[in-house]
A = this chain, B = another copy of it.
């Protein structure tokens, strides 16, 4: 059962497996797009498993902290999406918010080269592509 998988993931993140957290994490599963706390709250409001707005905010933050979610900054707000646990970059559709994960050795190489050349100690980097996915570009 999916519930057991979800609970275990929460446990591994150091979080108790509550109904609310399970609901949030399950709602994120299989979603190709990034979603904000408010959007998710609104979506869950309709179902039989509502979760308080405050709790949605807290849960998304905790899961992102734990590395289960990627935070995708959007105009004035923050969207989230389930992600793999290794480092990657994003291909983001500005129309439907679909997010594809990318790995990019050429980017990592560039980061290392530039940083060492200037005596920077790197703590992180970001490389994302924005545009329209094939489906959205067609319409």
Contacts and interface: CB of A to CB of B under 8 A. Distances in A.
16 contacts: A100-B118, A102-B114, A104-B110, A107-B107, A107-B110, A110-B127, A114-B129, A119-B137, A120-B132, A120-B137, A124-B130, A124-B131, A125-B130, A126-B128, A126-B130, A127-B127
Contact of A133 (B109, B120, B126): B120
Given A126-B130, A127-B127, 12 more contacts: A73-B73, A91-B118, A110-B127, A115-B129, A115-B131, A119-B133, A119-B134, A121-B131, A122-B131, A125-B127, A126-B126, A126-B127
A120 B90 CA distance: 12
A103 to B, nearest CB: 10
Interface of A: 73, 91, 93-94, 100, 102, 104, 106-107, 109-111, 114-115, 118-134, 137
A10 to B, nearest CB: 26
Contacts of A128: 125-127
A33 to B, nearest CB: 15
Contacts of A111: 129
Nearest to A94: B123
**Most chain B beta-carbon contacts within 10 A, residue among A73, A129, A132:** A129
